[in-house]
Amino acid sequence: MEFMLSTIIPSIIQWLTDFSGVLFATIKDVLPIVVILFGFQFFILRKPIPNLRKVIIGFAYVLIGLTLFLQGLEQALFPLGRLMAEQLTHPDFIYAGVEHIAGTIHWFDYFWVYIFAIAIGFSTTIAEPSLIAVAIKANQVSGGSIGVWGLRLAVAVGVAVGIGLGTYRIVTGYPLHWFIITGYVVVVIQTFFAPRLIVPLAYDSGGVTTSTVTVPLVAALGLGLAETVPGRNPLMDGFGLIAFASLFPIMSVMAYAQISEYINRRTKK
Amino acid sequence: MLSALKALFLSLVGSLRDLTPIILVIAFFQLIVLQQPIPDLWGLISGIILVLFGLTFFIYGLEMGLFPIGESMAHAFAKKGSVVWLLIFAFALGFGTTIAEPALIAVAAESAKIAAEANIIADSKEAIASYATGLRVTVAFSVGFAILLGVLRILKGWPMHYLIIGGYIGVVLMTTVAPKSIIGIAYDSGGVTTSTITVPLVTALGVGLASSIKGRNPMVDGFGLIALASLTPIIFVMGYGMII
C-alpha cells in the first residue's frame, strides 16, 4: 500500500503541475481576446451581455477543454507522430534491403512517406476542433442542407491530397510557387461553376484546417523530409506543407458541392 | 442529472469517433510499417482520454460561450449603427488574437534564424529578435486588416470571389518580386494565423453581422472572413521580406 502511494502521488503532482502549466499558457493566449471583447462591450457598446453567466461558464469550458486537449495530444500523439515522421523519412528505412546508389534518388522510394502524409492529413483534420466549429455553424446557417460530416470529410480529403502532394514536392524539389499558382487557377475556375452558396464557405475551409492538431505533426514531417532527402535544404524546402493544406480543401469543398448538386439534379429528372 | 450524464456520454462517444482515424493511423504505421512496439501504452491511453474530455468540453463551451458572444456583439454593433467603431473592433480582434498566437511566435522565430543563415540580416541576437518581432507585427497587422476588409465587404455586400481573386493576383505578383528565401515562410504564414478560439469567434461575428443587416444572406455574406485572414499575411510577409 505504502509502495503504491509513494509511486502514485508524485506522478499525480507531476500531472497537476503539467496541467496548470498548459492552463496558464492557454489563458495567456485567450486573454487578449477576452480584453478586446469585454472592452468593446462595456466601453463602446455599453450594454450588458445577454446571459452573461452562461457566456462566462462557456468560456471556462472552452479553456479547460482546450487545455485538456493540448495536454493529451502532447502526452500521447505528438511524440509518437514526430518520432514516426523522423523514422519514415530516415534513409535506413527508405533504403532498407535495397541497394542504394549514393546521390541518386527516385521519388517512388518514398512511397510510405506519401501514404503517411495522406493518412495523417486526413485523420488530423477530422479531429481539428476549429473545423468542427465551422461545420456546426455552416450546418445551422444553411438550415441543415450542408451536413457537418459531409463538410468535414470533404475538407479532410482536401488536406490529405494537399499534404500528399506537398511531400512529393519536397522529395522532387519542384518550386513551391508553381503548385500554388496552379492551385489558384483551379480555384478561380471552380468558383465560376460551383453553387454560389458554397463559395465563401469553401474559401474559409482553407484557413480553418491548419490549427492545433495538424500543424505540429505536418511541420515535423516537412522538416524531417527536407533534412534527409539528398539535395534538399530544410530551410528552403521544409516549408510549404501548411500552404498546400490550406489550398486543397478549397477545391475539395467546391467539388463536393458540385458533385452533390449534380447528383440532386439527376435524381430529380 | 441522469439526462446530463447521458448527454455527456453521447458527446464523449462523438469525440472518440473524431479521434479514431488518428489512433488507427498511428497504430498502423507503428506496428505494421515500422514494426515497433508502442513505447508507453498507459501514457498513450491516458493521453487519449484527456483529448476526448478536452474536445467534448471545448465543443460544449463553444455553443454556450463563443458563438453567442460573437453573434450578440455583431447584432449590437449593427443596431448601434457606427461603422467606424465596428471597423476598429474588427481590426483590434484580428490584430489582438494574432499577435499572441503561439504557432505564429514559433514560425517567426524559425524564419528569423533562416534569414540570419541566408545573410539577409546580421547573425546577432538583437537582429534576429527584431526580425522575428517585425514579422509577428506584420502578420498581426495583415490579419487585422483582413478582418476589417471582410467586415466592410459584409456591410457593402461585395461578392467574395472578387476579393479572393484580387488577393491571388496580389500573391502571384509579389511572388515574382519577393526574395526567394521568404516565399515558403510567407505561404505557410497564411495557415498558422487562425487559431482554435479565433475561428469560431470570427465565424460567429461574420454570420451574426450578415444575418442582422437587411438584404444580406448569412451563407453568402457571413463566411469568408477566415479566408481573407489566411490570404493577406502571404502578401504582407512577402512585402516585409522585400523591405528588410
Could B22 and A77 be called an inter-chain contact, meaning their C-beta atoms sit closer than 8 Å? yes
Is the pLDDT at A185 greater than 90? The verdict is yes
Is the pLDDT at A2 greater than 60? The verdict is no
Query: Do you know the residue count of chain B?
Result: 244
Return the minimum-mean-pLDDT range out of A102-106, A256-260, B225-229.
Answer: A102-106
pLDDT at B118: 72
Q: What percent of chain A has pLDDT over 70?
A: 92
pLDDT at A134: 92
Q: What's the rounded Cα separation, in Å, for the pair B13 and A180?
A: 38
Instruction: Kindly give the confidence (pLDDT) of every residue in chain B, 244 residues in length, as a single tens digit, with 9 standing for 90 and above.
Output: 678 788 888 888 888 999 899 889 988 888 888 888 887 788 888 888 999 999 999 988 988 888 998 888 898 888 888 889 999 999 999 998 888 777 788 778 877 887 787 777 777 888 888 998 999 999 999 999 999 999 999 999 999 999 999 999 999 999 999 988 788 888 888 777 777 888 898 999 999 999 998 889 989 999 999 999 989 999 999 999 888 7
Our CA dihedral for A102, A108, A112, A113, rounded to 10 degrees, sits at: 80
Query: Do you know the residue count of chain A?
Result: 269
Judged by a CB distance cut-off of 8 A, whether residue A18 touches chain B is: no
Whether ipTM > 0.85 holds is yes
Could B171 and A184 be called an inter-chain contact, meaning their C-beta atoms sit closer than 8 Å? yes
Task: Point out the residue among A33, A187, A215 whose CB comes nearest to the CB of B201.
Answer: A33
Q: Is residue B192 a contact partner of residue A170, using CB atoms and an 8 Å limit? A: no
Could B175 and A215 be called an inter-chain contact, meaning their C-beta atoms sit closer than 8 Å? no
Is the pLDDT at A220 greater than 80? The verdict is no
pLDDT at A108: 73
> Which chain A residues touch B65 with a CB distance below 8 Å?
54-62
pLDDT at A97: 52
For residue A189, count other CB atoms closer than 10 A to its CB: 12
Task: Point out the residue among B24, B38, B69 whose CB comes nearest to the CB of A55.
Answer: B69
Could B55 and A241 be called an inter-chain contact, meaning their C-beta atoms sit closer than 8 Å? no
pLDDT in tens, B89-122: 999 999 988 887 777 887 788 778 877 877 777 7
pLDDT at A235: 65
